[in-house]
Amino acid sequence: MDLLANLALGFGVAFSLENLAYCFAGVALGTLIGVLPGVGPLVTIAMLFPITFHLPAVPAIIMLAGIFYGAQYGGSTTSILVNLPGETASAVTCIDGYQMARRGRAGPALATAALASFFAGCVGTLLIALAGPTLGEWALNFGAAEYTSLMLMALVASAVMTQGDSAKGLAMVVLGLLVGVVGVDVNSGMSRYSFGIPELVDGIGFTVVAVGLFAVAEIVVNLESREPREVYTGKVTGLMPTAQDIRDAAWPTVRGTAMGACFGVLPGTGPALSSFATYMLEKKLARDPSRFGSGAIEGVAAPEAANNAAAQTAFIPMLTLGIPASATMAVMLAALTLQGIAAGPQVMLEKPDLFWGLIASMWIGNCLLVVLNLPLVGIWVRLLTVPYRWLFPSIILFCCIGNYSVSNNPFDVYLCAIIGVLGYVLVKLECEPAPLLLGYVLGPLLEENLRRALLIARGDPTVFFTRPLSLVFMIATLLILVIMVAPAARRNRQPK
C-alpha cells in the first residue's frame, strides 16, 4: 500500500539522528516556554521562529511543529495548575482542571490531559496521512479562480468565527491584506507603500508582524492588568489516574478527538472553538452535569483531546492547499515560504521527504510530549512560579535578537516596535489580531491568483461563479457570512 510506503519514508526521515534531535529540541523548548505563565503558543512560536531560520527546510519545519505542540501542551499545564490559559484553546481546561488541582488531584489531571492529548495526536496524525494525499490530488486541479475563492472563504471564515464581532474581524483581514501589499509588486516590479525606504521594498518581514502583534501587544496587555494570580504551589503527587478516572475519561477523549479533528480543518475555528464545543457536549451527555465546574475529569480529557486533534488536523489545509486555518498555521506557512517552499499540493509530490517526514515527526513529537511531561512535571511546576516581572523583559530581549537576526538590520527592530504599538491599540479596541496575520500571509497569494483568474477570464468576474468548485467555495463563503452575521444584526436592531 502507498500509505505504508510513504509512512516508511517519513519515519526514515524523522528517525535520522539530526531530525530526531530537532524534534526533541522543538518539543522541549516549546514546552519550556509554553509552560511559563502568560506566554501562549503564538508568542512562543513567534519568538522561537528566527532560530529555525538558519536550518535546512526539513529540520526547520520539524522543529517548528515540535515547538507548536510543545507550547500547546505547556498551555494546558498552566491552565490546570495556575488557572491561567496560555490561549483560548485551553481556557476550557481551566474550569475543571484547576478545580481538580485545588482538590489535590493535579497529578491525575495532568496525566489525563497528557494521555488524552496523546491519543488525539495519534489519531490526528493518522488523519493527515490518510486525508492529505487525497485532498492534495484533488487540489491539483485547482485553477486560479478556485484558489481565489478558497482563500476568500478561509479569510472570511477566520474573521467571522473568531471571538469578537465580525465587522471588526473582516476589517482586520482587509488591514492584513494591505500590510501584505507593502513591497515590490511581482507583476509590474513597482514598489508599493515603501515610502522610499529601501528596507520596505522587500515587504514587511513575517517575524516583525508576528512578534509585534502577538508578543509585544500581549505583554503590554498583561502588564496593565492588575489581577493577582493565584498560583498552585502544592506538590503534585500521585500522577497516575485511577481505574475509575480512566473509565470516565475514555469516551470523552474519543468524542473530543472526533470533534476536534473536524473543527481543526475549518478555517478560523481551530482548537479554541472545538474545545468549547466538546466541553458543552460532555456536559449535556453527562449523567450528572453538576459535577462539571467542580473538577470533573471528563472536563479535562475531552477539551484537551479536542484541541490537540484540532491542532493536528489544522495542518491538513496548510500542507495540502497552502491555506492556513489559524494564526499558528500562518506561522508554519511563512516558515515554509521563507525556506523557499511554496506550500500547496505540489509539496507532497516534489518534497515527499518533507511532507511525510513532518507527519512522522508529529507522531514522534506526541510521544516525546508524554515522556517529557509526565516524569518531569516537577520541573514544570517550579517554572510556573517564575514571576512575570522576570519573564517579560527576557521575552522582549529574545524577540529583539530574533528579529534582528532575520535580516541583520535594525530597521526590522524599529518596525516591530511600531507594529507592537498598533497591535496593542487594536487589542484594546477588541479587534482580534489573528485575522490580520492571516490576511497578511495570504495577501500576496490572493492578489496573484485574483489577477491571474481575471486575466484568464478576460476580465469577466463571473468566472468565480461559473466554475463549479469555485461556486461551491463562494456559496460557502456567503453561508458563513449569513449564518454568523444575521444573528448579530438582529440583536443590534433590538433596542437595548
**Residue 220 or 371 having the CB closest to other proteins:** 220
Residue of 4, 17, 190, 243 interacting with other proteins (CB under 8 A): 190
**Interface segment toward other proteins; rule CB under 8 A; list 28-36, 347-355, 367-375, 409-417:** 409-417
Work out whether 390 is an interface residue with other proteins (CB under 8 A). yes
Site string for other proteins, 310-349 (x = CB under 8 A): ----------------------------------------
**Residue 396 or 472 having the CB closest to other proteins:** 396
Smallest separation (angstroms) from other proteins to the CB of 216: 6
Work out whether 420 is an interface residue with other proteins (CB under 8 A). yes
Work out whether 228 is an interface residue with other proteins (CB under 8 A). no
Smallest separation (angstroms) from other proteins to the CB of 191: 9
**Interface segment toward other proteins; rule CB under 8 A; list 229-237, 276-284, 331-339, 449-457:** 449-457
Work out whether 417 is an interface residue with other proteins (CB under 8 A). yes
Residues 149-168 that bind other proteins (CB under 8 A): 167-168
Supply the DSSP string of 350-388, one letter for each residue.
Answer: H-HHHHHHHHHHHHHHHHHHHHHHTTTHHHHHHHHTS-H
Residue of 4, 458, 462, 494 interacting with other proteins (CB under 8 A): 458
Smallest separation (angstroms) from other proteins to the CB of 457: 8
**Residue 120 or 204 having the CB closest to other proteins:** 204
Smallest separation (angstroms) from other proteins to the CB of 37: 14
Work out whether 430 is an interface residue with other proteins (CB under 8 A). yes
| Residues of this chain that bind other proteins (CB under 8 A) | 51, 54, 167-168, 170-171, 174-175, 177-178, 181, 185, 187-188, 190, 192-193, 216, 219-221, 223-226, 388-390, 392-394, 396-401, 404-405, 408, 410-414, 416-418, 420-421, 424-426, 428-431, 447, 450-451, 454-455, 458-459, 461, 492, 496
